[in-house]
């Protein structure tokens, strides 16, 4: 399974692609951060993010997209930008009919480190170890995107099978 993990943000949007399956070593395909300038109007920044996400979807043809679920922080402007970037990422994936999963930050931290309250350095260190990298991906948004992809491979596939089984059971007379 190939998963594109997206750590949404209006200024920095982490993008990471991972190949693998449960019980097998995972492989880094690519990682980067889409950046937009705060000097540019928000609508134009969102277009830049859309074009970037579309380019990654075209180039890497993932089987699924995992996006960090937006959660309320004290800074409303940060939440708004994150939510807008998240919505753009989901629209890009939905246009292609790709499965989209939302994972909370604590779920991702727990999946990759065993601790739902792990800090950025701990997540980066575990992503480095899991993907057998020479150094942690920088900036943290890149490592977070890879952590999202890893979480989805490890947890999302199983959840998709459970959801399909429940749907099949409900449709039986």
Clarify whether 141 is annotated catalytic: yes
Beta bridge partners of 33: 14
59, 68, 75, 107: the catalytic one is 68
**CA atoms within 13 A of residue 80's CA, in its CB half-sphere:** 5
Which letter does DSSP use for residue 15 in this model? E
The one catalytic residue among 7, 30, 107, 163: 7
**Any idea which residue has 């952590």 for tokens?**
147
19 is in an annotated binding site: no
- Judge whether 63 counts as a catalytic residue: no
Q: Which one of the listed residues 19, 50, 63, 141 is annotated catalytic? A: 141
Tell whether 144 is in a known binding site: no
* 68 annotated as a binding-site residue: yes
Binding residues for Mg(2+): 7, 68, 141
Residues designated as active site: 7, 68, 141
């Amino acid at each position: 399974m190939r998963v594109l993990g997206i750590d949404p943000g209006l200024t920095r949007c982490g993008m990471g692609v991972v190949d693998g399956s449960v019980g097998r070593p995972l492989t880094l395909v690519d990682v980067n951060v889409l950046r937009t300038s705060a000097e540019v109007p928000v609508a134009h920044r969102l277009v830049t993010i859309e074009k970037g996400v579309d380019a990654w979807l075209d180039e890497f043809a993932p089987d699924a997209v995992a996006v960090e679920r937006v959660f309320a922080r004290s800074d409303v402007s940060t939440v708004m930008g994150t939510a807008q970037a998240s919505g753009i990422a989901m629209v890009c994936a939905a246009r292609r009919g790709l499965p989209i999963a939302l994972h909370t930050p604590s779920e991702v931290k727990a999946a990759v480190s065993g601790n739902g309250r792990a800090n950025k350095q701990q997540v980066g260190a575990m992503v480095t170890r899991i993907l057998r990298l020479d150094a942690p991906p920088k900036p943290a948004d890149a490592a977070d995107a890879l952590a999202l992809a890893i979480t989805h491979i490890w947890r999302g596939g199983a959840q998709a099978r459970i959801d399909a089984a429940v749907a099949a059971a409900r449709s039986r007379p």
